[in-house]
Structure 1
Amino acid sequence: MPTRRSVLEILTAGGALGAVGCASPAGPDPAAAWRNPGAGERDPRRWALAHAILAPNPHNRQPWLVDLPGTDEIMFYADTTRLLPATDPPNRQITMGCGAFLELLDLAARQRGLRADMTIWPEGEPQPVLDGRPVARVRLVADPSVKADPLFSQILKRHTNRAEYDLKAPPSAEDLTRVTRAAAAPLIAGSVADATGLARLVDIGARGFAREMTTPAAAMESAKLTRIGRAEIAQHRDGISLQGPFLEGMAAIGLLSREAMADPDSFATKSAIDMWAKSIRATPAFVWLKGPDNSRATQIASGRAYARMHLTATALGLSMQPWSMTLQEFPEMAALYRETQDALGASPEAPLQMLVRIGRAKAAEAAPRRGLDQHIRT
C-alpha cells in the first residue's frame, strides 16, 4: 500500500498538488487505467487484471507481474525490481500490496461469473525477502453459483486520501464497525476513536514521520521515486506525483531537487515534519489490522482485508490513508515500532499489519497507473 508523499507536497498545504488525471502532451495519460478498465478485452483474465492494477500499494510502486499460460490461468509474481529496501526491508508492505491486487482480481472475476481458484505461494513462501517464486497461481472457472460482490462498484472510487480530515464529522461507531468487519477471520481489525487512544497514536505517528524524514536512506528512497511535473508523471506513471505551477516553477529554477528532499536538515524537511504533524492531528479515528502471525500468507491475507476495508469505507463516504511509518522495519524505526505495537496490544509474533487514518475529507485524485500491458510478461 503508498503512505507518504514527498516533503514538498505539503509545503503548499495541499493546494499545489494538481489533478493527475489530465492528459499530458509529454506522454500517456497517467490516469487512463481508471477509466473503463478492461474495455474491449475479450480475454476475461485481462479484463479482471485491468481492475486488479488499481489496487492500493506502497509508494505506488505497482509491483505486479503476470504470465498468462493456457486459456484460464494466471501466474502472479512480485516484481522484485520494484521493492522498497530502505523503508520495507523484509518486503512486508510490498507483499500486502500483492494481496490487495489479488482481492481486486477476485472481485472482478466474480463480476463476470467466474470463480478465482487461488493457490498462494505454490512454490513456498520466500524468506527473508521476496524472490522469483510466484505469489499465486490463479485459475478462472465459470461457476453459476458465484455472486457478484457489491464492493466491486467501489473500485474506481477508492483513492488514498492524505488531506486533513473533518474533526467535526467523525465516522460513526456503526461505520467503524462496518469497516473493521470487512476483515475476515483469522485476521482481527479494530478501531480507535476515544480521545486518549487518539492522542497516543497521533503522538507516535507524528514522531514516526519525523524519524523517517530524518533517516537519510528512507528519505532518499522517497525522493528518488518523486515525479515532479506533468512530464515526469506521464513518463513514469508510478511513484509519488507532484505537479502544479508552484512546484514546477520551483523545479525549473532549481529550488526543488531530490537532494533537498532527502536532506534531513533542509527547510523542506523541517516544514514537512510540521505540516504532517498538523495532518495527523486532523484524524478523528484510526483503524488497525493484525493477523495470527507474520507469515507471508498472513501478509497476503492482510492486503486482501485492507482492500476490502478501504472499499467498504469508500461506500460509506469515508476516506482512508495508511499511516505506516512506525510499522516499518528498518533499524532507526525500531523503538517507535515497538511503541506502536504496544499501544494496540500486538506482539512480535502477531504484529500489526496496518494502521490507517479514517474520516471525511474532500475527494482525492486517482494515483497514476502504468497500464495493464506493463504488468504482463508473456
Structure 2
Amino acid sequence: MGSRSPLQQQRRVFIRLIGGSIILASAGLLAGRHFIVEDDELQRAKEEKLGANSDPRLALIEKASLAPSSHNLQPWLIDLRGPADIILLRVDPERLLPVADPHARETLISLGCFLELLSMAAQAGGFRCEIIEFPEGNAPQITPVAPVIAQIRITPATTTEPLLPEPLLAMLEQRRTNRLPYDTQRTIPDDILASLLDAGSVHGIQADGTVNPALLQKLNPLAENAWQTEMSNSETVLESLKLTRVGKKEIEYHRDGIAVSGFLPEMAATFGLFPRDRVPEPDSTFMRSMITTGKEQGQTAAGWIWLYSQGNSHAQQIAAGRAYVRLQLAAAQSHIAMQPMSFLLSEAPAMQPHQKDLYDNTELNSDQHRLQMLVRIGYADPVAASPRRRLSDFILE
C-alpha cells in the first residue's frame, strides 16, 4: 500500500482517540429516525400555555415522562383533549422501531414503564388511577395513526379509602440505565437479589435471576457473542447511529436518543469521523471499539435478572414494562447498577441460536414462556440522567 496522506493520518488519529469513548445503548440496537422539532416560536408558545395551566394531570405526566424507554425514544403521546379527568396514552407513530422492533414489543414495554410511573405518581399525589388498556381494541402498528394504548381516569382519593404509600417512587430521580463496565470485585448479596426479584414480580410478570458464578460463566459469554452478532447487522447499526446525539447542541435539540458528549467525540463529529449516515467498515477502529464495549458490558455483569410472562400478548408486554420500572427503582434503592440487554431478545433470525441458549440456561420453556426483559446488574460509578423531551413536545391539547 502507498503512504497515507496527512488527512488520512489525521482521520486515523481521531478514530483511535474517540474509539474508546463511544458507548451506544445496548438495550438493543434499535431502529430510528431524526425527528423534526417545531420552530422555536411555536415551541415557546406551547410551553407558556402549559406553564400557565393548573391542570393537576401535568405534574403526574411530568413524573411519568422520566420512564425508561428503548433507545430513549420516549414513544408516548399524551392526549388531554377530552374530559378533564381523562388521560389518553397514545403511541407516537414517528417513534416506532420498524426494523429492530417490528412488532412493537419493546415500544409497548416502554409505554408500560410510563403507565406504572403515572399510576405511582397519582397515588403519591392523592389520586386514584384507573387504567383501561386498549380501549379502542387496537394495537400499535407502523402507520400514520397514533393508536390509544390506554385510557387513564384520574380522580381524587376519598378519606374513607386512603391510598398506600409508594416508597419506590422516591427513587425516581436516581433511576438510571448504567452502560459502564461494572466492578468485577464486588458481588451482589443474595438478599439484595431476592428483594429485586420481589420488586419485579408484579402485574402477572415473573422475575428471576442469578448471581451464581457458575451460571454467570455461561450467561456472560452468551451476551458477548450475541452483541457481536448484533453488530454484524449493518441495517440495525445504521439506524442506531441515526439516533445518536453527539454534543450539547444536538442533545439539547433532540432531547432523546443516545447522548454522547465530550471534547473528542464532538470534535470527531465536526470532522465527519463519527458517522451517522453510513455503517463503518467491519474492521474499522470504530466498529472494533463498539464490539469491545459490548463485550466489556457482558464480561463485567455481576448478575442477571430476567422478566418473563406466560404468553406474549400486548397486555403482557405492557405489564412487563410496569414490572421493569419497579425493578429498576428497587435497584436504585439498593445502589445496584442495571442495564437492559434486550438485543438478545430481538426477532432477528441471527439471534435465534443465542436465544435458545438463553432459554436453556434460564431453564425456561420457550413454548410456554416469553422472555420480555434481560438485564445485567452490578456495581458501577454513577452516570448522568438521559435527556428528556419537554411536556410540550408530546402533549396534545
What are the within-5 Å matches in structure 2 for residues 3-152 of structure 1? Answer: 11-13=19-21, 42-68=54-80, 69-126=82-139, 132-144=146-158, 145-152=162-169
Paired with 2:287 and 2:353, the residues of 1 have a C-alpha distance of: 22
Contact conserved, 1:216 with 1:263, CA < 8 A, in 2?
A: no
What are the within-5 Å matches in structure 2 for residues 282-301 of structure 1? Answer: 282-301=300-319
Q: 2:271 aligns with which of 253, 261, 265?
A: 253
Task: Write the letter of the residue equivalent to 1:363.
Answer: P
Task: Write the letter of the residue equivalent to 2:338.
Answer: M
Task: Write the letter of the residue equivalent to 1:286.
Answer: W
Structure 1 spans left out of the alignment, 5+ residues: 1-6, 18-26, 29-37
Paired with 1:8 and 1:42, the residues of 2 have a C-alpha distance of: 52
**Aligned with 1:235: secondary structure?**
helix
Paired with 2:171 and 2:163, the residues of 1 have a C-alpha distance of: 19
1:217-267 residue CA offsets vs partner (Å, 9 max, x unmatched): 110110111111111111111111111101111122222222465543432
Q: TM-score, normalised by structure 2?
A: 0.83
Q: 1:351 aligns with which of 362, 365, 370?
A: 370
Structure 2 residue 373 is the aligned partner of structure 1 residue 365: no
Q: 1:203 aligns with which of 212, 215, 221?
A: 221
Paired with 1:336 and 1:185, the residues of 2 have a C-alpha distance of: 28
2:394 alignment partner in structure 1 = 375
1:163 alignment partner in structure 2 = 180
1:341 to partner: Cα distance: 2.5
Larger Rg: 1 or 2?
2
2:209 alignment partner in structure 1 = 191
Contact conserved, 2:129 with 2:152, CA < 8 A, in 1?
A: yes
**Aligned with 1:135: secondary structure?**
strand
- The RMSD of aligned alpha carbons is 2.6
Structure 2 residue 225 is the aligned partner of structure 1 residue 212: no
1:271 to partner: Cα distance: 2.0
CA 1:55–1:39 in 2, change beyond 3 Å: closer, same or farther?
farther
Paired with 2:269 and 2:340, the residues of 1 have a C-alpha distance of: 28
Q: TM-score, normalised by structure 1?
A: 0.87
Contact conserved, 2:98 with 2:142, CA < 8 A, in 1?
A: no
Q: 1:223 aligns with which of 219, 223, 241?
A: 241
Aligned-pair identity (%)? 34
CA 1:123–1:258 in 2, change beyond 3 Å: closer, same or farther?
same
CA 1:294–1:341 in 2, change beyond 3 Å: closer, same or farther?
same
Contact conserved, 2:18 with 2:268, CA < 8 A, in 1?
A: no
Contact conserved, 1:237 with 1:369, CA < 8 A, in 2?
A: yes
Task: Write the letter of the residue equivalent to 1:347.
Answer: S
**Aligned with 1:122: secondary structure?**
coil
Structure 2 spans left out of the alignment, 5+ residues: 1-14, 26-38, 41-49
Contact conserved, 2:203 with 2:319, CA < 8 A, in 1?
A: no
Paired with 1:300 and 1:95, the residues of 2 have a C-alpha distance of: 5
**Aligned with 2:177: secondary structure?**
coil
1:132 to partner: Cα distance: 3.4
CA 1:67–1:8 in 2, change beyond 3 Å: closer, same or farther?
farther
